[in-house]
Amino acid sequence: MSKVITLKERPSGKPEEKNFEFKTEDKPEIGEGEILLESKYISVDPYLRGRMRDEDSYIPPFKIDEPLASMVVAEVIESKSNDFEKGDHVSGMLDWKEIQKHTGEGLNKITNKDVPLSAYLGILGLTGLTAYLALETIGKLKEGETLLVSGAAGAVGSVVGQIGKIKGCRVVGIAGTDEKIDHIKSKFGFDAGINYKTTENIKEDIAKACPDGVDVYFDNVGGDILDAAMQNINDFARIINCGAISIYNKEEVPKGMRLEGIMVKKRALMQGFIVRDHADQFQDAIKQLGSWLADDKLKFDETKREGFDNVPKAFIEIFEGKNTGKMLVKV
């Protein structure tokens, strides 16, 4: 038997464990050309909250009573395919199941054994790729510029900051605890940090931490923090709308500052970014991230929860800021 996690009901506000249901199914039989996969690490990501809404988006919504899915690292435990052998490891978009069959199409075979398997869900997976490719395509950092990033201690944000340092920028991070601020400075080399939960005036604190203004703002959170960042941008600033976790659980989108005056005055560029649009650049990007990793120019954090039963809880914990770096579950 194999466990499966389905969406029982669409969350209203912050997701709760009661929104998910555990079911069991028989271990599937595989046919010619198919493989049987056992999940090893399951990625839980903020964007999955969007897929729990019944709304059109760049990726279709999850269906009620059907399995959820995310990036998973899995082991091939049986193979009737010429492309995979028993014992191979793969990463790809897979269902939240302990065991599942697959044709292998679209899966990435993991061949580099020098990095831990879980890294393919973080630094060498979609979050590392997001940080790198959004900076390459929109941020276009120049040496000496100031880069501000929110969600700075998270999977995407911590990589963004380190790439900023590699490119010779002043890097300032925004995160939700003093421990996270100390950590991004000591481990990842951020020049300064702001705790958005304890600051009395985030706009002024950004101004103090960015005395030359903000050239690139990498936005992972949206909301009031975006408004405060926008009041500190320089001429020709680039603003990357990567995520908006501060509004993902809101049933009504909160109203904020009008940005058009600033955008015109500063001749700024603000652009949304979806990593999947850049799939043709993934292999080159992984090569670059892997080489920085090997040279110790990039470090990464993981917050690992243990056990398949804890996947929904780990997902909910992201919205409580319980993770540093990539949140994932070791099955």
CA separation for the pair 303, 313 (Å, rounded):
13
| Binding track over 56-95 against ligand NDP, x by CB under 6 A | ----------------------------------------
Smallest separation (angstroms) from ligand NDP to the CB of 240:
9
Smallest separation (angstroms) from ligand NDP to the CB of 163:
14
Binding status of residue 11 toward ligand NDP by CB under 6 A: no
Exposed e or buried b per residue across 167-201, where buried means at least 16 C-beta atoms within 10 angstroms of its C-beta: bebbbbbbbbeeebbebbbebbebbbbbbbeeeee
| Binding track over 228-267 against ligand NDP, x by CB under 6 A | --------------xxxxx---------------------
Binding status of residue 22 toward ligand NDP by CB under 6 A: no
CA separation for the pair 34, 272 (Å, rounded):
37
DSSP track, 23-50: EEEPPPPP-TT-EEEEEEEEE--TTHHH
Binding status of residue 301 toward ligand NDP by CB under 6 A: no
Q: 3-state DSSP call for residue 245?
A: helix
Smallest separation (angstroms) from ligand NDP to the CB of 272:
7
Residue whose CB is less far from ligand NDP, 36 or 131: 131
Smallest separation (angstroms) from ligand NDP to the CB of 325:
7
Q: Return the residues of window 262-281 that contact ligand NDP according to CB under 6 A.
A: 273-275
Asked whether the beta carbons of 148 and 229 are under 8 A apart, the reply is yes
List the structure tokens of 154. 């998270």
With CB under 6 A as the contact rule, the residue among 125, 220, 302, 329 that binds ligand NDP is 220
Residue whose CB is less far from ligand NDP, 209 or 242: 242
Which residue in this structure is represented by tokens 């936005």? 219
Q: Return the residues of window 131-170 that contact ligand NDP according to CB under 6 A.
A: 151, 153-157
Please list the alpha-helical segments (H only) found in the chain: 48-51, 126-134, 155-166, 178-186, 202-209, 223-230, 245-248, 260-266, 282-294, 311-318
Asked whether the beta carbons of 73 and 121 are under 8 A apart, the reply is yes
CA separation for the pair 24, 296 (Å, rounded):
43
Instruction: Look at the chain and count its residues.
Output: 331
Question: How many residues of this chain interact with ligand NDP, rule: CB under 6 A?
Answer: 31
Residue whose CB is less far from ligand NDP, 97 or 326: 326
| Binding track over 88-127 against ligand NDP, x by CB under 6 A | --------------------------------------xx
Angle made by CA atoms 133, 136, 141, in degrees to the nearest 5? 135
Binding site for ligand NDP (CB under 6 A): 45-47, 126-127, 130, 151, 153-157, 175-177, 180, 220-221, 242-246, 273-275, 318-319, 321, 323, 327
